[in-house]
Amino acid sequence: MTIEQLKDSLLVRGPEDSSPWNHQKRLLLVNNLGILVNQLYTVGIDEIFIDGYFVANPYTLPDIVRELNKTDPYKVWTWDWSSRIYDRNSAKPQLPLWHRYKVELYPHVGQGCGILDENGNEQMFPATFRKTRDTFLPKGIIKIIK
Q: What is the pLDDT of residues 104-135, one digit of tens each?
A: 999 999 888 888 999 999 988 788 888 888 88
Which of 51-55, 58-62, 80-84 has the weakest average pLDDT? 51-55
Are 128 and 113 spatial neighbours (Cβ–Cβ below 8 Å)? yes
Q: Fill in the amino acid letter for 48.
A: I
Give the model's confidence band at 44: pLDDT under 50 very low, under 70 low, under 90 confident, else very high: very high
Q: Rounded distance, CA 36 to CA 111, Å?
A: 22
143 pLDDT more than 80:
yes
42 within domain boundaries: yes
120 within domain boundaries: no
12 within domain boundaries: yes
19 pLDDT more than 80:
no
Render pLDDT for 71-98 as a digit per residue (tens, 0 to 9).
Answer: 999 999 999 999 999 999 989 999 999 9
pLDDT of residue 18: 61
pLDDT of residue 132: 85
- Tell me the average pLDDT across 36-49: 97
37 within domain boundaries: yes
Short-list 9, 51, 15, 27, CA closest to 142: 51
28 within domain boundaries: yes
Angle between helices 23-42 and 61-71 (to 10 degrees): 120
Name the residue range of residue 49's domain.
Answer: 3-110
CA geometry: angle 53, 63, 36, nearest 5 deg: 40
Q: Rounded distance, CA 18 to CA 36, Å?
A: 32
Q: What is the tally of structural domains in the chain?
A: 1
